Amino acid sequence: MEEKDVILEVKNISYFVREKKIIEDISFSLKRGGFYCVIGTNGSGKTTLLKSITNNVELNAGDVKVNGKPIKKYYPKQLAKELSIVWQHNEFLFDFSAFQVVMMGRMPYQKLLQADSEKDLKIVQEAMEKTNTWHLRNRSIKQLSGGELQRIMIARALAQESPLMLLDEPISSLDIRHQFDVMELLRKINRENGTTIFIILHNLSLALKYSDEIITLKDGHLVHFGKTRDIINKENIQNLFNVDAEIIDKDNIIINK
Amino acid sequence: MKDLIWYFVLTLIVLGLVVLGLFWGSVDVSSLDENSIYIIKNIRLPRVIMSLLCGAGLAVCGSAYQSIFQNPLSDPYILGVSSGASLGAAVAIILGLESFFFGIGGFAFLFALATVWIIIKIASVGNRLHTTTLLLAGISINFLIAALIAILMVLNSENMDKIIFWTMGSMSATKFSDLWIVFVFVLIGIIAIRLYARELNAILTGNESARSLGVNVERTKKVILLFSTLMIGIIVAKSGVIGFVGLIVPHIVRILVGSDNRRIIPFSIFGGMIFMLLADILSRVLIAPSELPVGSITALIGSPFFIYLLYNAKKQLNP
């Protein structure tokens, strides 16, 4: 893989809380434009991995590079132009309109005291139309359903115009219909905008259906990294999750106990 | 554009109240003789200006605290920061340090800052501040400081009058010479908070969320806490503890214009001025020719309002 094709490079990272190893010696790199999925049991270090590569925790070892430059060297605003994040939990005690929340995605581009420009408005509208949320723009963020809220948060990430979008289990609290909607939306963003998607998922069949490549974690270690179809198989799933699985075809999987 | 019209209307209301504050009081000044002019110029004008400055400063501080603590019930008074400042002022008087380290204002600021630090230490769980713990920490700090001030007063009965002033809040002793320092610090504080308004909005959506938008969350919080606590320290040093302005005004403004701090700050300036002027006028005319401490007027309006907010927030506090 040529260096310019690599958008994110993770090298031998470890993170401990006191003596406990949360993640240890993880390395991988993401190609520009790929659709990556991370799976693993609860407590396997998925969210910590995401926090590590977004500069939200102090690593004990290793380094993370975005576009060949260590993330520590980025100013926060610069980094926000390179990568956007959709977190699993979004709590709003204060009343913003959906539009205002998506407009926050333009913050990395706005100077001190600068008002929202025509360009910002256009980008926000495009992001909201793409995520099918433009009709919700005047609604209070507190009154949106789970699915609507996640689409708004994805629209906000889109408005950041970053080449890399990271998502932490964005669909885990949604029903199956809305899970598909969000995954379809991410596929569309991946294909039409060329955004590299890196998503933590719990649902194996969705991972199988949508991702090009997959990263599996167990007890804080990277177990597999490669083409999704090569990795999702009976033995690996048994090993990772301790369940019995049957792969029906390229999109479907049945889990038995 | 629509906001500009509102600013204009609000300016007119403020000016109207200024005129009312200058001409209405325990002494009839309608004759405009030499004596009346003296009262208007040297007694009422400074306290009217002080009310404008304190009202604006306290209201903007309140909205800044609410953003930083991600909690609509935060305000420097409820969190005990104002009491902390008044303890600093009392200590400075008793130890005779009025001319040491910026005098009473300097001590008020240092004690206020220490109080903020203690409250954050008590209430933080990980890097989150728990709403209930935050309020309880503020209440306990308020108890502790009330007790300390009571002890200081008993032990220093000759200074009791001076100290009582700081615990109740009043504009009556305002001198022209006090106005400049308050003006400068309130102005600097409001400008600093306004410059960070967009960052504060992002922080209202959560620390991690704000960080992913490129906000330096820790630095923003430190800068805003420093500037708003500086404002509180100076305001308390010059006018005593005046509670609830920072709670009521931003809350009403938020209902009217939404949660965007870029709009909350200017509207809170007007709201704070109007609320404070009204409270000061009431404090002078309700039992004229005697006078009530203005802090008791704001507390009489503010406490039921706070109880009402708590009542409504029950579900959020006890999920």
Domains annotated for chain B, with CATH where assigned, are 2-317 (1.10.3470.10)
Q: Which domain holds residue A88?
A: 74-202
Query: What is the predicted pLDDT for the residue at B96?
Result: 77
> For residue B240, what pLDDT is reported?
87
The pLDDT of residue B280 is 92
Per-residue confidence (pLDDT) for residue A88, from 0 to 100: 86
Are A93 and B212 a contacting pair at CB < 8 A?
no
Is there a domain that residue A161 lies in? yes
What pLDDT is attached to residue A133? 94
Decide if A111 touches B, using CB distance below 8 A: no
CA distances from B69 to B90, B204, B317 (A): 28, 9, 14
B206 min Cα distance to partner chain A (Å): 7
Read off the tokens for A73: 């060297």
Kindly state whether residue A67 falls inside one of the protein's structural domains.
no
Opening angle at CA B262, ends B258 and B268, nearest 5: 70
Residue A53 placed within a domain:
no
Please determine, for residue B126, whether its predicted confidence score (pLDDT) is greater than 70.
Answer: no
Q: Is residue A245 part of a domain?
A: no
Give the C-alpha distances (Å, rounded to integers) separating A106 from A67, A128, A140: 21, 13, 19
Q: How far is A84 from chain B (nearest CA, A)?
A: 6
Model ipTM? 0.89
Rounded to the nearest angstrom, the minimum Cα separation between A97 and chain B is 8
pLDDT number for residue A188: 94
Helices (H), A131-173: 146-159
Strands of the sheet with A196-200, listed across from one edge: A83-86, A164-168, A196-200, A35-40, A213-218, A221-227
Q: Tell me, what's the pLDDT at A250?
A: 67
Q: What is the pLDDT of residue B128?
A: 66
Cα-based angle A124, A128, A132 (whole degrees, multiple of 5):
170
The whole-number pLDDT of residue B170 equals: 79
Chain B residues within 8 A of A113 when measuring between CB atoms:
195
In a domain, A221, yes or no: no
Q: What is the pTM of this model?
A: 0.89
Confidence of residue B159 (pLDDT cuts 50, 70, 90): confident
Q: How many domains does chain A have?
A: 1
Q: Which residues pair with A247 in a beta bridge?
A: A253
d(CA B291, CA B282): 9
Closest-CA distance of chain A to residue B63, Å: 12
| CB–CB contacts below 8 A, A to B | 72
DSSP one-letter string for A53-101: HTT-S--SEEEEEETTEEGGGS-HHHHHHHEEEE-S-----S--BHHHH
Q: What is the pLDDT of residue B195?
A: 95
> What's the mean per-residue pLDDT of chain B?
87
DSSP letter, residue A169: S
Is-contact B246 B65, C-beta < 8 A?
yes
- Is pLDDT of B186 > 60? yes
Q: How far apart are CA B55 and CA B298, in angstroms?
A: 11
Q: Closest partner residue to A94 among B198, B214, B259, by Cβ?
A: B259
Q: What is the pLDDT of residues B15-60, one digit of tens each?
A: 999 999 998 877 777 777 888 888 888 888 999 999 999 999 999 9
For chain A, list residues with pLDDT below 70. 1-3, 250, 256-257
The C-alpha atoms of residue B246 and residue B78 are separated, in whole angstroms, by: 9
Which amino acid makes up residue B64?
Answer: A
Map tokens 């409504």 to a residue.
Answer: B312
B319 pLDDT more than 50: no
Per the domain annotation, does A69 fall within a domain? no
- Within 13 Å and on the Cβ side, how many CA atoms surround A37? 26
The full DSSP string for B47-89 is HHHHHHHHHHHHHHHHHHHHHHTT-TT--TTTTTHHHHHHHHH
CB contact B205 to A (< 8 Å): yes
Put simply, the answer to whether B70 touches A77 (Cβ < 8 Å) is no
Report if residue A255 sits inside a domain. no
- Selected residue of A107, A161, A168 to mutate for chain B interface (largest B Cβ count, 10 A): A107
Q: How far apart are CA B67 and CA B250, in angstroms?
A: 11
Instruction: Name beta bridge partners: A245.
Output: A255
Point out the residue among A80, A101, A113 whose CB comes nearest to the CB of B212.
A80
Q: Residue B69 carries which side chain, given as an amino acid letter?
A: F
Would A192 be classed as within a structural domain? yes
Please report, for the domain that includes residue A136, its CATH number. 3.40.50.300
B204, B211, B214 ranked by CB distance to A56: nearest: B211
pLDDT (0 to 100) of residue A102: 96
Instruction: Provide the 10 A C-beta neighbour count for residue B23.
Output: 14
| A152 in B contact zone (CB under 8 Å) | no
pLDDT for residue A159: 96
